[in-house]
Chains A and B, each alone.
Chain A
Amino acid sequence: MMQELSLNILDVAQNSVKAGASLITIAVEEDEQEDLLIIAIGDNGCGMTPQQVDRVTDPFYTTRTTRKVGLGVPFLKMACEMTGGSFDIRSQPGVGTTVTARLGLHNIDRTPLGDVASTVTSLIQCNPDIDFVYSHKTAAGEFAADTREFRQVLEGIPLSAPEVIGFIKEYILEHLNEIQGGTI
């Protein structure tokens, strides 16, 4: 079990990294009207066959050889279902995969979202050649942090440079602060 949903995001996005994606999107939406917290992680990686998609929520299915269990996806599915939410994976070989988690926003059993800024900066730092787009939407507005935009401005300076990572973290935190009423 993860302590924060942001850690589930980090974990599921690692699957996209492993799938050879060049673009990974992380979209978070706080939908007060529907009382939902929706998290979608999409990639343009190698994708999965329908048979693999069926098995990926099985904790005893994994493609790795270092251990016998694959708990990342089942953890997120459980976190959703605990709150009366739902979990969905769409994937097509050669096109990519999108994982969508819907959680009861105000459900008492919902795991806190946690520090998404750290998740995004960890991903960028460890995978400076992959592009990431993190978008966040609330009733008060929305914003996106897009490494393709940052890359264009940086003119060859790596995204993983400590100064740049520091900037991106502040960028996310300040923009989040504008649209969030409080920690969720």
Chain B
Amino acid sequence: MKSLAELQALRDKMKGNMGIRDEDDASIRVVVGMATCGIAAGARPVLQAFTDEVAKRGLQNVAVGQTGCIGICQYEPVVEVFMPGQEKVTYVKMTAEKAVQVVNDHLVNGNVVTEYTIGANAK
């Protein structure tokens, strides 16, 4: 069973690695709406999918965080992506699967997944 001793070993291993993430260095910010509307619509698995995929790919320059309700509850789960020098991209009605695609296409390769953006979904 996991114990604090195991956490100690993990700490020592992480300290040995020079590439410890520093959130302040992150140039790309991903924020998931985690107010009541977001949570009820499924924001938790979306947040987790972003975190897992960013960790899996070792993307040191990406910080995943949360925000509150931005007033478009009908489009939740909503995710906003901030990249330096570019306009904010708002993804709507997100799922864990879509999140993985956004990491790969947008965060890694720089191609906005247009079909998931609010522009493509707003009626």
Contacts and interface: CB of A to CB of B under 8 A. Distances in A.
Interface of A: 1-2, 7, 10-11, 14, 18, 64, 66-67, 70-72, 75, 118-119, 122, 125-126, 128, 149-150, 153-155, 157-158, 160-167, 170-171, 174-175, 178
B73 interface: yes
A37 to B, nearest CB: 20
Interface of chain A, helix or strand or loop or mixed? helix
27 contacts: A2-B40, A7-B40, A10-B39, A10-B44, A11-B39, A14-B34, A14-B68, A64-B35, A66-B68, A66-B70, A67-B37, A72-B35, A75-B36, A118-B44, A122-B44, A122-B47, A122-B66, A125-B47, A153-B11, A157-B11, A160-B23, A161-B20, A161-B21, A162-B51, A162-B54, A171-B7, A175-B2
* Top 7 closest pairs, chain A to chain B, by CB: A162-B55, A66-B71, A72-B36, A126-B66, A171-B2, A174-B1, A66-B69
A7 B108 CA distance: 30
Contacts, number: 98
B11 A154 contact: yes
Contact of A118 (B40, B48, B55, B68): B48
Given A64-B68, A153-B8, 8 more contacts: A7-B44, A119-B44, A126-B66, A149-B4, A150-B4, A157-B20, A158-B23, A178-B1
